Chain A
Amino acid sequence: MTSTIATNRAEIFRPLFAAATHDASAAMCRWTDGLITLTLDEVREIPLHSVASELGFGDDLLTMVILGVESDPGTVLILTFDEENARQLAATLTRRVRNTSPEWDELEISALTETGNILGCAYMNALTRLLGRAIIPSPPYFVRDYFASVIQQALVEQAAASDVALIGRTGFHREGEALNWHVLFVPSPEFRRMLENAIAVKPNS
């Protein structure tokens, strides 16, 4: 289901999100020996009450790596992975056989958090360049939980200001094939203003 709310208004942010995705994709390509690339899927404003379902996650339990922004705790970048492919990525990066235990071991978690770190740093370095302001990611951490539980806390600052949420979603591809992995960039209202200033767009225009 796609919300009809202000799709065009959110689209004005596409050039910035696309540039950040481009840099993140280059970093991921290097990190995975050319295996994985990224493309910007969408930039949307979504009604708060239906964010998880409109992003296609519903009540799903997901594997996630979360990074904040040091100077702006309300801005969050979330990497989401389906279990199968997250395990496979960890196995590839650690050059081991895929772990079949229900529990994630430390090496697997380390591989995914490092992936988040590399991707997040590249994404935020691009935003630093585009916004002319240092955007420093916080250390990444690994979570397995309901996506809806995580996204709702990421949206707290946006929720204080609006009944809709601005989210940029990036998809992953392995050798051209789309994977069920995503990067969700959730800016705080303050960060959104920085984005608007960078593209000289007045709020609500």
Chain B
Amino acid sequence: MHTLANAEATSVKGQVINVGMGQIATGDRSTQFTSVLGSCVAVVLWHPRLSLGAIAHVVLPKSHGQNGQPGKFADTAIPTMLEQLARMGCPKPGLVAKIAGGANMFRVGGPLQIGDDNIATVREILKTVGIPITAEDVGGTQGRKITFTCSTGELRIEVAGQKAKVI
């Protein structure tokens, strides 16, 4: 498995890319993305005709103007993904989105309950940029291990103690 060496947006071919917190990756039909999610949300943008895709492992909803990894915040991740895809020759028209994650892992109140805000902000931004969400698996109280296959657009989701599903 290939792990991104840093937080920069990366494009590779023919690899399984493990996408960590705040990272963005892009790939073609030979690429798979994997990630493990708790309160974070994975945003996958995929072009079915071109089999090109991008993923962001979003940690927080909004950057509030902060510098840092663009993939960390929903409001900077999605525009960056679109720029990355455009550089690969992938136009915005035709893109669809799948999202997963946004769980509430801790049974305590307070500012750590960020999963719902992440989900809401990702949905809002995707709506604003006109990219339809064709499938999602969000919320709950358990982590998710995901694998996205660019050739098929399938997002496989594993939850501890449950049968894996594909959306």
- Give CA–CA (A69, B151) in the complex, Å: 46
Does the CB pair B106–A68 fall under 8 Å? Answer: yes
Among A85-93, A127-135, A145-153, A192-200, the stretch in contact with B: A145-153
Given A141-B107, A149-B144, A156-B111, the answer on whether A163 and B7 have CB atoms closer than 8 Å is yes
The residues of A that contact B108 with a CB separation of less than 8 Å are 68, 73, 138
The residues of A that contact B107 with a CB separation of less than 8 Å are 141
Does the CB pair A152–B21 fall under 8 Å? Answer: yes
Does the CB pair B7–A148 fall under 8 Å? Answer: no
Among B36-44, B86-94, B126-134, the stretch in contact with A: B36-44
- Give CA–CA (A154, B23) in the complex, Å: 18
Q: CB < 8 Å: which of A53, A73, A138, A153 contacts B105?
A: A153
Contact indicator per residue, chain A 113-155, by CB within 8 Å of chain B (1) or not (0): 0000000000000000000000000100101111011111111
The residues of A that contact B143 with a CB separation of less than 8 Å are 145-146, 148-150
Does the CB pair B142–A145 fall under 8 Å? Answer: yes
Contact indicator per residue, chain A 43-77, by CB within 8 Å of chain B (1) or not (0): 00001111111000001010000101000011010
Interface of B is mostly: loop
Does the CB pair B144–A74 fall under 8 Å? Answer: no
The residues of A that contact B27 with a CB separation of less than 8 Å are none
Given A49-B23, A68-B106, A141-B107, the answer on whether A152 and B39 have CB atoms closer than 8 Å is yes
Does the CB pair B59–A150 fall under 8 Å? Answer: no
Does the CB pair B21–A150 fall under 8 Å? Answer: no
A159 proximal to B (CB < 8 A): yes
Given A146-B160, A149-B144, A163-B22, the answer on whether A156 and B39 have CB atoms closer than 8 Å is yes
Interface size class of chain A, counting residues whose CB lies under 8 Å from the partner chain = 20 to 34
Does the CB pair A146–B145 fall under 8 Å? Answer: yes
Given A49-B22, A157-B112, the answer on whether A152 and B69 have CB atoms closer than 8 Å is no
Q: CB < 8 Å: which of B3, B23, B160 contacts A53?
A: B3
The residues of A that contact B72 with a CB separation of less than 8 Å are 48, 159, 163
B103 proximal to A (CB < 8 A): yes
Closest Cβ of chain A to B102, distance in Å, is 10
Closest Cβ of chain A to B80, distance in Å, is 15
- Give CA–CA (A150, B39) in the complex, Å: 8
Contact residues of B between 27 and 59, Cβ < 8 Å to A: 36-40, 57, 59
- Give CA–CA (A76, B110) in the complex, Å: 12
Does the CB pair B7–A146 fall under 8 Å? Answer: no
Closest Cβ of chain B to A18, distance in Å, is 27
Interface residues of B (CB under 8 A from A): 3-4, 6-7, 18, 20-23, 36-40, 57, 59-60, 68-69, 72, 103-112, 114-115, 142-145, 160-161
Query: What 7 A-B pairs are tightest by C-beta distance, nearest first?
Result: A149-B143, A73-B110, A49-B20, A149-B38, A148-B36, A146-B143, A153-B39
